[in-house]
Amino acid sequence: MAGTSERKRAFGGPALPAIIAVCGAGQCDAKTAALAEAVGREIGRRGLMLACGGLGGVMEASARGAKQAGGMTLGILPGASKLEANPWIDVPVVTGLAEGRNLILVRTADAVIALAGEYGTLSEIALALKIGKPVIGLQTWEVAPDVIPAQDAVEAVDKAVAACGSRRRLLR
């Protein structure tokens, strides 16, 4: 499977897909939503798993794109109910941690794509960089030279996959 990571399930099961986190605001304009959906669609098309905060805005648009392309989605939720997940989330993870879930999201991911966003996105960028996860920036905060810039959805996912590969995460 394209984008399959080297990690194996317990007892020699099939490899798990690489997980790409998409971080962005819970509310966004139509242009940003369209870009997020394109990112999600590209992630889904490649057989990767999309992880996000599971709510609205960039999170919902990217999850919708991934699902429309046949992909799997994981939502790391801030509250105490699975019902808060947007309708495009396959696996809702209830944390009850509010913004603390941001660390769970970036630790779970093999690479992070930060798309536009506000202070929550900024915290996800900082946390990911602190723990050594690759961060691809798409129309987002320009805060550190370690954020890898991208101009469009395909380039963002290309760079995320390449960053995972450079970390020996993918089998391609």
> What pLDDT digit, counting tens, does each position of 111-140 carry?
999 999 999 999 999 999 999 999 999 999
Number of structural domains the chain divides into:
1
Kind plus residue range of the DSSP H or E element containing 166:
helix 153-166
Residue 142 covered by a domain: yes
Q: What is the CATH number of the domain that holds 21?
A: 3.40.50.450
Backbone angles phi, psi at 94, to 5 degrees: -85, 125
Q: Is the pLDDT of residue 87 over 50?
A: yes
- Rounded percentage of the chain residues whose pLDDT exceeds 90: 83
Residue 41 covered by a domain: yes
Residue 171 covered by a domain: no
Nearby residues of 73 by Cβ (< 8 Å), 6 or more positions away: 49, 50, 51, 52, 63, 66, 67, 88, 89, 90, 91
Beta-strand pair 15-17/4-8: antiparallel
Residue 27 covered by a domain: yes
Domain that includes residue 75, residue range = 4-166
Residue 93 covered by a domain: yes
Query: Token digits for 27?
Result: 């509310």
Average pLDDT of the segment spanning 41-48: 97
Which bin fits 151, alpha (ψ -120 to 50), beta or left (φ > 0)?
Answer: alpha
Alpha-carbon span 136 to 86, nearest angstrom = 24
Residue 29 covered by a domain: yes
Residue 172 covered by a domain: no
pTM of the model: 0.89
Residue 10 covered by a domain: yes
**Which residue has better confidence, 120 or 165?**
120
Alpha-carbon span 114 to 32, nearest angstrom = 12
